[in-house]
Amino acid sequence: MGFAFGVLRLSPDGFWSMTPRELNCALEAVCGSAVGVPARNDLDQLMERFPDPQNRD
């Protein structure tokens, strides 16, 4: 919503009448295409570097 109102300067009606696909196209027009998903190896490395805290019940 911040992108739509602040960057695209859409009205609330304009924002809520957009489809997710239209909003994504507007985002890509301003910021470029999104980078693809990380490779499994990259994800494994991130999970090793930043493990989830263990649940302490």
pLDDT single digits (tens) 19-52: 999 998 999 999 888 778 789 999 999 999 999 9
Q: Compute the distance between CA of residue 41 and CA of residue 54 in angstroms, rounded to an integer.
A: 22
21 membership: H or E segment, kind and range: helix 20-31
Query: Looking at residue 22, what is its pLDDT?
Result: 94
pLDDT of residue 38: 82
pTM for the full predicted model: 0.53
> Residue 57 — pLDDT band, cuts 50, 70, 90?
low
Residues 21 and 14: their CA atoms lie apart, in Å, by: 14
